[in-house]
Structure 1
Amino acid sequence: MAYTYAPEEMLARLVAFETVVGHSNAELIDFVKGYLSDHGVAFHVLPGPEGDRFNLFATIGDPARPGYVLSGHVDVVPAGEPDWLGDPFALREAGGKLIGRGACDMKGFDAAVLAAVPELCAMDLSQPLHIALSYDEEAGCKGVPHLLAALPELCARPAGCIVGEPTGLTPVLAHKGKAAVRFSAHGRSGHSSRPDLGSNAIHALVPVLAAACTQAENLQSGPQDDRFQPSWSSLQIGTIAGGQAINIIPEQAEARIEARAIDGVAPQDVLAPVIAAAGEDVSVEWLSSYPALALDRGHPLAEMVEAVSGREALGAVSFGTEAGLFQAAGIPSIICGPGDIARAHRPEEYLTRDELRGAFDMVVRLGRRLAV
């Protein structure tokens, strides 16, 4: 007999897998494979080029009909902070809080969806529900593009996608796009008393850094979208490193710069003036990118998710998600999941028991809405 899990039990199982971004998620995917197999759910495991990370795509219902995707990533950020009061990869409860790395971002939604599988399988769905689990979202949505590339061979084009990032179960219609670039400068080391015999890699980065500061200021008077805070596209120098000592000419230097763009502005275009400032001694490497999300408030997907969540849609959020990539693949998308993004990427990350149950109930209501 197939084993069923309460949402809390499923969350405990998922949190126990240390699926830190950039590392293998094979054990978690194997667990989900076994669970879905026990319930007779068809699925596809889609390896990424890394070799040790996998996307998973499962379907309940007829894949030949347009259905709805329930999408979540299974990777989490590292949990090395000293302020954890217990093992971050062993779910514990305190005062109604379910505490563990990824509980909020976003294994809570994943757990709610997977725990609902037995109930969904018992329904006669007129449109299928798909479960999409991706890897390395926290590294700039690196895993889901491989899933999206395979999707036309797996099912009819979905009618919509719900990405379950933490929004307090409030449907969210829009987010900014993002792109990140690494600028690496290569010089020639030597004694600082003879700069004529060396080549300073940090100096080579200065035009790039100056262009970034200028562009960041110029964007404030550029296109605006009042749904966001701030209402303009933004750019920042996130990290910079280089040099060994004050009396050594730096041989290597690196800066990482990101752009976040409002709808209608490509984040790659925001970075273009900065890239143009890179000289011949500076190499440019794109680290990640994903487009903005924008769904009309009157779209049928928005109306449906408002109905099953019981909450009116919110215009926009500041953080980014995989929803923009689903939208770019021709699948209308919306964000709606349990928890609060302010708890993510912090020690003692948590989801409340009520929030988890609320997500589970929302998924079941969605299934009933699609049932014949």
Structure 2
Amino acid sequence: MQATEILEKLVGFRSVVGLPNDDIVAWIRGYLENHGIAVDVLPGPEGDRSNIFATIGPKEARGYILSGHMDVVPAAEAGWTSDPFCLRADAGRLHGRGATDMKGFLAAVLAAVPRLAARPLRQPLHLAFSYDEEAGCRGVPHMIARLPELCARPLGAIVGEPSGLRAIRAHKGKAAARLTVKGRSGHSSRPDQGLNAVHAVTGVLACAVAEADRLARGPFEHVFEPPYSSLQIGTVKGGQAVNIIPETSEAEFEARAISGIDPAELLAPVREAAEALSKRGFEVEWQELSSYPALSLGPDAPLARLLEALTGLESLPAVSYGTEAGLFQRAGIDAIICGPGEIGRAHKPDEFIHVDELLACQAMIERIGENCRA
């Protein structure tokens, strides 16, 4: 199958983050097995979605991981001019949810499989396709934990997030959490008989704003924009009507950390302020939504040099978005970002990838295969 045909098939699966993914997993597994490649389907603890791991070449040798996620963000936003889950071709563009982020990379990898499998590889290529990346990289840690039983320690991981097919060596880490505060409802004329959850949460919000201001003063890592760690309040909810004491309030927080800083630790002062509300009679729930570490790969790392040679482009020091690459690096595997398309097209109506971008990525992957035969 051509890369465009494979992408059409992949986009047709509604593999929205947080939902079962048996259909796309079964199709990819069947495709790989039809080319003589053994596949490990690795169910996650949710029970209704799985990762995929497959190896082309000798498992006992050290090789490279080609990493991508099968899930996509929802496509309910206004502005789509065609069915988001039906690939549409238009003047060299292929439109559909996930065309860029990141089923285009998966299609390029799968299109390269027949050529990769045609001749023996001295170093293996591992295909590592994950679930629920869009919910904060929730699926891939379960696969990484099983790598020691699946293959020899890899030489590196290439994460195919959209980068204009240019290698990228760093991104910030991220953590997100949801706070729910429950007080006691009542008539607004008797505030003395209730516990106002919205009033209570304002102190936590003020703490978050103060922490955000503090982080903006450094430390700095100037490869990033902005060059410091950040914290923000993303959502705030609460109350039913102006004359009812609000019983519950909810807020969501996100922190993004420069290299060497645990993003979850940036939220610690906010969590402490929230949990202090329990001393005032409120019920407090702090739920960690996601967390992944920063990526930081040196410009002279062998993996960076390899990707520069394969793409013919100098690697970029950093991007603002996050990926699964930091999780591979934390597991002791060098990682880098390099995939087709542009991140600015992702998560938008009429998301698209150019046909020539798709084919260029397939050609790059085939060059990786040639390198593994040398």
TM-score normalised to the size of structure 1?
A: 0.98
Cα distance per residue 1:261-299 (max 9 Å; x no partner): 000111112111111111213221111000000001100
Corresponding residue number in structure 2 for 1:352: 354
Counterpart of 1:277 in 2: which secondary structure? Answer: helix
- Counterpart of 2:211, as a letter, is Q
Q: Is residue 245 of structure 2 the alignment partner of residue 249 of structure 1?
A: yes
1:104 paired residue number = 100
Amino acid at match of 1:134: S
Q: Distance in 2 between matches of 1:52 and 1:274?
A: 33
Partner of 2:73: 77
Q: Indicate whether 1:126 and 2:122 are aligned.
A: yes
Residue matched to 1:274: 270
Distance in 1 between residues matched to 2:373 and 2:188, nearest whole Å: 74
Q: Please list the CA deviations of residues 55-74 of structure 1 after superposition, one character each: whole Å capped at 9, or x if unmatched.
A: 00000001111110000001
Deviations for 1:152-192, whole angstroms, at most 9, x for unmatched residues?
A: 11001101000000000000000000000111101111101
1:304-332 Cα offsets, whole Å, 9 max, x none, are 01111221100000000000001111110
How far apart are the structure 2 equivalents of 1:269 and 1:294? 18
Work out the CA distance in 1 between the residues paired with 2:328 and 2:45: 20
Query: Could you list the runs of 5+ residues in structure 2 that have no partner in the other structure?
Result: none
Q: Distance in 1 between matches of 2:331 and 2:32?
A: 26
The unaligned stretches of length 5 or more in structure 1 are none
Distance 1:303 1:249 in 2: 61
Give the letter aligned to residue 351 of structure 2. Answer: E
Q: Which residue of 2 aligns with 1:334?
A: 336
Q: 3-state SS of the aligned residue for 1:167?
A: coil
The 1-side partners of 2:285 and 2:75 are apart by: 32
Partner Cα separation in structure 1 for residue 293 and residue 43 of structure 2 = 23
2: CA distance, partners of 1:216 / 1:298: 33
1:7-46 equivalences under 5 Å are 7-46=3-42
User: Does the CA contact (< 8 Å) of 1:167 and 1:338 recur in 2?
Assistant: yes
1:123, distance to aligned residue in structure 2 (A): 2.3
Partner of 2:255: 259
* C-alpha distance in structure 1 between counterparts of 2:108 and 2:354, whole Å: 13
Aligned to 2:164: 168
Query: Is contact 1:123–1:367 with CA below 8 Å preserved after alignment?
Result: no
Which among 292, 295, 313 is matched to residue 293 of structure 1? Answer: 295
3-state SS, counterpart of residue 236 of structure 1: strand
**In structure 1, distance between residues paired with 2:218 and 2:78:** 41
The runs of 4+ residues in structure 1 deviating greater than 4 Å are none
SS in 2 for 1:306: helix
Q: CA deviation at 1:42?
A: 1.4
1:82 is displaced (CA, Å) by 2.3
Distance across 1 between alignment mates of 2:61 and 2:254: 39
The DSSP-based 3-state class of the residue aligned with 2:244 is coil
Residue type of the partner of 1:324? Answer: G
| TM-superposed deviation, 1:41 | 0.5
Using the TM superposition, give the Cα deviation of residue 235 of structure 1 relative to its aligned residue in structure 2, in angstroms: 0.5
C-alpha contact 1:123 1:368 (8 A) present in aligned 2: no
Q: CA deviation at 1:193?
A: 0.5
Provide the secondary structure at the position in 2 that maps to 1:337: coil
Q: Secondary structure of 2:370's partner?
A: helix
Instruction: State the secondary structure of the residue aligned to 1:116.
Output: helix
Task: State how far apart, in whole Å, the 2-side matches of 1:323 and 1:152 are.
Answer: 18
Q: Percent identity?
A: 59
Q: Which residue identity does 1:48 align to in structure 2? A: G
Hey, what's the Cα distance between the residues in 2 that align with 1:64 and 1:42?
15
Q: One-letter code of the match for 2:10?
A: L
Contact map agreement 1:54 1:135 (CA 8 A) in 2: yes
How far apart are the structure 2 equivalents of 1:139 and 1:191? 38
Q: CA RMSD in A?
A: 0.7
Matched, 1:58 2:54: yes
TM-score by length of 2: 0.97
- Counterpart of 1:302, as a letter, is A
Could you list the per-position Cα deviations for residues 3-23 of structure 1 after superposition, in whole angstroms to 9, with x for gaps in the alignment?
xx1110110010000000111
Query: Of 296, 299, 319, which residue of structure 2 is paired with 1:317?
Result: 319
